[in-house]
Structure 1
Amino acid sequence: MLNIPNFLTLLRIALVPYIAMRLLDGAYATACVLFIISALSDWVDGVIARHWNQRTRFGAMADPLADKLTMLTVTLLLTYLHALPWWFTLAVILRDVLIVAGALAFHFMIGQLVMAPSRISKLNTALAFILLVTVLAIEAGFLPDGPWRAALLYSTFLTTVLSGGWYVYVWGRKAIEARKAI
């Protein structure tokens, strides 16, 4: 069903190649604006879906996929363009692989996994967004570079590692409880 939240999710997915092309062209200002539009549409689609009860199965699957696709594309390209360090991007990729692999392993070995984002994961998402907008804005010349860029980078790195560890801990505990119940 194509409702407004699902349309906005599809719009976010469609924006990814345009953001990528602008980054590769060195048009950081345009990429920054498109990235902010994408993030705002994510917020708007969530508000609409919750407030007007327009949640769908498609939206539940496509929305986080659109988020990951957008964030990972921008992170990878900023690393390729030497605006972010490789070790940061490696941590982001490893965390995402860990979450997907862990969820699949739990599903096939234990049973259905009910996933809810943790507070540390929500903080990580917020910091990652702020970091990416900041780096894009610096590269576009909208903001001067400063020590707060490094502070944001290390804070986001820390929450990336902690949130990945949190999921391993929670799923491990759930797996032990499920095994005891058998």
Structure 2
Amino acid sequence: MRHIPNALCILRMLLVVPIAWLLNAGEYKLTLWVFAFAGFTDGLDGFLAKRCGWMSELGKVLDPLADKILLVSVFIILAVLDIVPAWLAATAVLRDVTITAGAISYNALYGYPHGNPTVISKINTLCQIAYLLLAVAAKAGEWCPEVALMILGALVFVTTVVSGIDYVVVWSRKAVEASRQQRGLTG
């Protein structure tokens, strides 16, 4: 049972393929359901891991990786299909590329980063999922006020930029400290 959260992360990664296919086929209503389910697995895996004590080192890697694969893929596809603004998709992708490059660099220089997502990062992920769901719902012809999409898009932009800056600042400080420790300059 303790592997259920990790299985949900893997499922979320695998759902990217049918979501991409459905979007390209113009099947927006079905995309909405599959993407909503993928978003639901994001909350469920975290809930189960914490509530049941099923947290693992693998899960700490799989969960953010699954989020990045899902959200980056959907942002790119929706931008190519001209459903979301390219600049907003680029902002989300750039944030995730920056965080991933930073984590890889930190790992190469100082060892495994052992980081936890920040509150602003969790808010950003929630806003991105909600925004993408709303954008697909609007394309599917479901009820979606344009102003709600605009406000949520602005919120995605702000939380993406703030969380990206937060990661850079926090991990730059940790890298400086780790570098000092490696050189024996702590104090």
> Aligned to 1:21, what secondary structure does the other structure show?
helix
Q: How does 1:94-109 map to 2 (within 5 A)?
A: 94-109=94-109
Shift of 1:45: 1.9
Partner of 1:11: 11
Q: Extract unaligned runs of 5+ from structure 2.
A: none
Distance change (3 Å), C-alpha of 1:60 and 1:116: closer
Report percent identity of matched pairs.
Answer: 36
Aligned counterparts of 2:178 and 2:2: Cα–Cα separation in 1: 37
If the length of structure 1 is used for normalisation, what is the TM-score?
0.91
- Preserved contact between residue 12 and residue 38 of structure 2 (Cα < 8 Å): yes
Give the superposition deviation at 1:2: 7.6
CA 1:10 to 1:174, structure 2 compared with 1: closer, same or farther past 3 Å?
closer
Q: In structure 1, what residue type is equivalent to 2:30?
A: T
Q: Which moved more, 1:143-152 or 1:70-79?
A: 143-152
Q: 1:119 to 1:55 in 2, by over 3 A?
A: closer
Query: Using the alignment, how far apart are the partners of 2:145 and 2:107 within structure 1?
Result: 44
Q: Which residue of 2 aligns with 1:91?
A: 91
What is aligned with 1:58? 58
Matches within 5 A, 1:31-180: 31-180=31-180
1:56/1:73 Cα in 2 relative to 1: closer, same or farther (>3 Å)?
same
Change (3 A) 1:2 1:112: closer
After the TM superposition, which of the residue ranges 117-126 and 53-62 deviates more from structure 2? Answer: 53-62
Distance 1:180 1:12 in 2: 39
Q: Partner letter of residue 96 of structure 2?
A: D
Structure 1: gaps of 5 or more residues: none
CA distance in 2, matches of 1:46, 1:117: 11
Alpha-carbon distance between aligned partners in 2 of 1:111 and 1:65, rounded to the nearest angstrom: 18
For residues 83 and 52 of structure 1, what CA distance do their matches in structure 2 show? 39
Q: For residues 4 and 113 of structure 1, do their structure 2 counterparts lie closer, same or farther at Cα, with a shift above 3 Å needed?
A: closer
Deviation, structure 1 residue 164: 0.9
TM-score (norm 2): 0.89
CA RMSD of aligned residues (A): 1.8
Alpha-carbon contact 2:3-2:54 (below 8 Å) kept: yes
